[in-house]
Structure formats: structure tokens, C-alpha cells
Structure 1
Amino acid sequence: MERASFCDEVLVYTNGKEAIDALTLLMQTGPLTAIPDIIFLDLNMPIMDGWGFLDEFILIKPQKAIVIYIVTSSVSSADRKRALGYSETVKDYVIKPISPIRMNEIFEKYKKEEAQ
């Protein structure tokens, strides 16, 4: 993301609980500009997995639109189908590893949609 000059800051969390707690705090204390525009969410994380994060994310009702891309090594059709259940929140289901070309495609699509 930094090489593509897509954003000014990248926040990294090692588990879903840490991420949802940080996001909740940002929404309570920070300006809207501090809240991320995009979240790349891994499904397989310790403590709280990506599915748990999504369930909690829906409950906190962010004050601004946040685009979530599920990024996973899971090629399971059941996981892909389950992700469709979060269609209001999840933009795409991306299989790891993400190539620089694929990352640029995501960024370009995001920029184009934001401009509309």
C-alpha cells in the first residue's frame, strides 16, 4: 500500500479484538478523518477471527462508510458464500497472496468509485 502511495497511514492489528477495540475508540474520540476508509480483513486471526470482527463491526455502526475487503487464504466456497451475507459491508473476497497488480486494481477501483 505504501509503495502504491495509496494512503498516508497504514494501521496494522494482530487480531480482530485489537482491531475492533481500536476502531471503536477512534469513532468515540477521533475526528472522522482518523477512521479508516478501507479495511483489509484476514479471516484467520487469533483471539477474534475475521467473522467475529465483522459481527462486531456491524454492531458499532460506523459514522462513515468503510469499505472492507476480506483477504484470506481460504478458497472455501462456504467462506465465500458466507462473505456474501455481509454484502452491505464487504466489498470483495480476495485470495492471498495479493500481487502488486491485484492491489493496484483494488485501489484503482476504490478511487473510481469514490470519485462518483
Structure 2
Amino acid sequence: MEQLDVACIIDDDKIFTYLLSKQMQLINFSKTTLIFPNGLEALKYLKPILESPESLPSVILLDLNMPVLDGWQFLDQFVLLKPKKKITVYIVSSSIDAADHERAKKYEAISQFYIKPVTQAHLTEMLMHLKSA
């Protein structure tokens, strides 16, 4: 399966991001993986490159519970951006709260909600979905 050029993980859990990035490497998920500890850092990176589709991620794996700017706050600002490329967002959270799952359905930008831990099977499913879209 063809790998993505750029993927992005937004999560404050360093152990989770390390393990997830290793799993992504094992299945050749993406050539480059960007990791941000919160939504604010991700937005600071994304905003200046909105006009450069080759630099933008194809996918964002987004945690909900983070300091500074959480996943919901990030999404509220992200949906206002107009990138030159489609960016698919997957929620990757430990939340099993039904309210979070319902709230996620209200965002057109969100493709799927995955409950941690994310497995290689989940990543392969994401890749297959992205390549068929």
C-alpha cells in the first residue's frame, strides 16, 4: 500500500506519540510524521503553510484532552482554515464518553473516532480509507 507524504499527530502523551509513530513506521504509514503536544502548536505550524499543499499533512490524528489548546478547541479553529488540500482528521482518544462521540459527529472534518490504544490494524484501516477517498 502506498504511504502518505505527511501525517500529523496532535497529542500531549509522549509515550503514546512515540509508540504510535513507531507503529506508523512499521507499516510505512507516511514518509514524514509531524508531532505536536497540543492544538496551538499544530495551528502555529499549519497556518503559515496553508498555501503549500505538498507541506500539509494528509491526515491528522487528534487527541481530545490536552493542555493549552485541546482537541475540540483545535477543531473549532481548524475548520475555519481553508487549506489547498483535503486533510482528514481522526480522533484518537482514551475517551469513552458517549457525549464526545456524539460531539465528534457534528464536525464534518472528522472521519472516524478511535479509542486508544491505536493498533496497526487501525492504522492500516486509516490508510485504506485515505487511499480510497
Report the TM-score when normalising by structure 2. Answer: 0.79
Which residue of structure 2 aligns with residue 22 of structure 1?
45
Partner of residue 83, structure 2: 62
Distance 1:55 1:76 in 2: 20
Q: Deviations over 1:71-100 (max 9, x none)?
A: 0000111000000010x2000011000111
Q: Where does 1:1-116 land on structure 2 (aligned, <5 Å)?
A: 1-27=24-50, 31-86=52-107, 88-113=108-133
Which secondary structure does the structure 2 equivalent of 1:10 belong to? strand
Task: Give the residue type in structure 1 aligned to 2:31.
Answer: D
Greater helix share, 1 or 2? 1
| Aligned mates of 2:50, 2:69 — CA distance in 1 | 20
Shift of 1:7: 1.1
Q: d(CA) in 1 for partners of 2:121 and 2:80?
A: 34
Cα distance in 2, alignment partners of residues 57 and 109 from structure 1: 21
Consecutive unaligned residues of structure 1, counting only runs of 5 or more, are: none
Hey, what's the Cα distance between the residues in 1 that align with 2:82 and 2:102? Answer: 23
Letter in 2 for 1:13: F
CA contact (8 A) 2:50 2:82 kept: no
Task: From the two aligned structures, give the one with the greater strand fraction.
Answer: 2
Q: State the Cα distance separating 1:6 from its structure 2 match.
A: 1.9
Q: What's the % identity of the aligned pairs?
A: 40
